[in-house]
Amino acid sequence: MKKITEICCVGAGYVGGPTMAVIANQCPEINVTVVDINQKRIDDWNDENLDKLPIYEPGLKEIVGENRNKNLFFSTEVDKAIDKAQMIFISVNTPTKTYGKGKGQAADLKFIELCARNIAEVAKDDKIVVEKSTLPVRTAQAIKSILDNTGKGVHFEVLSNPEFLAEGTAIDDLLHADRVLIGGDDTPTGKAAKDALSLVYENWIPKEKILQTNVWSSELSKLVANAFLAQRVSSINSISALCEMTDANVQEVSKAIGFDSRIGPKFLQASVGFGGSCFQKDILNLVYIARSYGLSEVADYWEQVIIMNDYQKRRFAENIITTLYNTVSGKKIVMYGWAFKKDTNDTRESAAIYVADALLEEKAEIVVYDPKVSEERIYADLEYLGSRDPNVNRELLKVVNDPIEATEKAHAVAIMTEWDEFKALDWEKVFENMLKPAFLFDGRRLLETQKMEDIGFKYYKIGES
């Protein structure tokens, strides 16, 4: 089997960027070129100032600094990189379709198809094509068909190698992966391709953690892993609502059930609702596939995970409105955090967007502070929902850089993201700044109830009455 020395990755996003940086870092004998059609993105990856990388991940800038322009390259010359590579990762985005058949559920595969056609057109020798993007089951087959029918007679092997990294801990997840999954054909060439990719990972991942399966199992496992994780969050969030009615404490319930080794303690943190680019999209995908095979009970079952998540976001917003005497019109509400979780600047599907939208609908005046998310991103997220004239969003919602100043004469503060710095804030000062009664809504269960009540806050914590 030929050892891989040249890798190309199409798509320099949250998945492609960190994954390739780690491969380059762990495999000094492999040249890795990450390409993207977005010039600005590539320029940012090449910025001399490592604080300006397009993606923030703890540990990422150090690795990029170490390997960039040695065996890690960022470029917009897509064809050149494809031509040179023996192995090509496809890591372009697969948003939920916003039009036509499958609208709002199915993944839009147009970028994947473009990418496959591009590879077929350029490739002059045999290539291993690796699906890194999360895709509906059986997409590999479509990719293979495009490659074989439009290629120039060279041999393509298509593998599925789903990504399990979580944002905010991407580098650590990549370096210390629980497992690496490689799906491919069980033919001799398919097996050789799986082994070739396995060898890349064996540079730092113990061999017993590298699982080889058929393509469909690999594609489906990725969706199922995310669906199970999201289901845990929705399950505990459903219980949080019950806790608020019954004087039970969701933290105590999580702990009590998590001690059961069959259940385990992780992913039982009640919150204002899960966000991120994957959970909702992957479940919608699963639902769509199940439905398209006529499995409506299966589809309904998984769809409920999303329905529960929407309920949790709505419930949080409605609680703010009811608590503030049933009107938030003209009231200043400070939102701490906009990212979908801490330690990332990613805001895709963040609960904060939907809570803000619901409050804006009631004409609240919102002030947002997030340590990593830009003002433009926040406005873009709201505009994407299309609920109202973008100018109204800009009038009613302001983005600030000082979390304390933000609370001057505020009616309420809502914690949306569990940034560590919110724990260490001068909460006495916040209280002093605010109008009384000072309402504090903790959507992340970040603060200590007793301490906040002692300061004087009317403190509401998800999952406690």
Closest CA to 412 of 337, 330, 335: 335
Does the protein bind ligand UDX through residue 229 (CB under 6 A)?
A: yes
Task: Name the one range near ligand UDX by CB under 6 A: 162-170, 179-187, 256-264, 366-374.
Answer: 162-170
**Among residues 340 and 457, whose Cβ is nearest to ligand UDX?**
340
Does the protein bind ligand UDX through residue 240 (CB under 6 A)?
A: no
Binding mask of the shown chain, residues 180 to 219, with x at each position contacting ligand UDX by CB under 6 A: ----------------------------------------
- Exposure b/e, 59-82, CB count within 10 A at least 16 = b: bbbebbeebbeebbbbbbebeebb
| Cα gap 68→34, rounded to integer Å | 11
Task: Name the one range near ligand UDX by CB under 6 A: 45-53, 111-119, 144-152, 457-465.
Answer: 111-119
Task: Name the one range near ligand UDX by CB under 6 A: 89-97, 121-129, 327-335, 379-387.
Answer: 89-97
Closest CA to 361 of 314, 304, 423: 314
Q: Binding to ligand UDX (CB under 6 A): which residues in 334-393?
A: 340-341
| Count of positions on this chain that bind ligand UDX (CB under 6 A) | 41
Does the protein bind ligand UDX through residue 271 (CB under 6 A)?
A: yes
**Among residues 22 and 268, whose Cβ is nearest to ligand UDX?**
268
Does the protein bind ligand UDX through residue 164 (CB under 6 A)?
A: yes
Q: Binding to ligand UDX (CB under 6 A): which residues in 403-462?
A: none
Closest CA to 178 of 152, 195, 201, 196: 201
Task: Name the one range near ligand UDX by CB under 6 A: 138-146, 197-205, 272-280, 288-296.
Answer: 272-280
Q: How many CA atoms lie within 13 A of 168 on its CB side?
A: 15
Closest CA to 201 of 229, 170, 175: 175
Three-state secondary-structure class, residue 411: coil
278 has catalytic annotation? yes
Report the nearest approach of ligand UDX to the CB of residue 166 (Å): 4
Q: Is the peptide bond before 18 cis (omega within 30 degrees of 0)?
A: no
- Element containing residue 315 per DSSP (H, E): helix 296-323
Which of residues 24, 165, 227, 253 is near ligand UDX by CB under 6 A? 165
Report the nearest approach of ligand UDX to the CB of residue 373 (Å): 14
Does the protein bind ligand UDX through residue 105 (CB under 6 A)?
A: no
**Among residues 71 and 347, whose Cβ is nearest to ligand UDX?**
347
Q: Count Cβ atoms below 10 Å from residue 452 Cβ, excluding itself.
A: 20
Does the protein bind ligand UDX through residue 42 (CB under 6 A)?
A: no
Strand order of the sheet with strand 458-461? 397-399, 365-369, 332-336, 412-415, 439-442, 458-461
Does the protein bind ligand UDX through residue 11 (CB under 6 A)?
A: yes
Give one DSSP letter per residue of 372-393, joined into a string: S--HHHHHHHHHHHT-S-HHHH
Catalytic machinery residues: 163, 222, 278
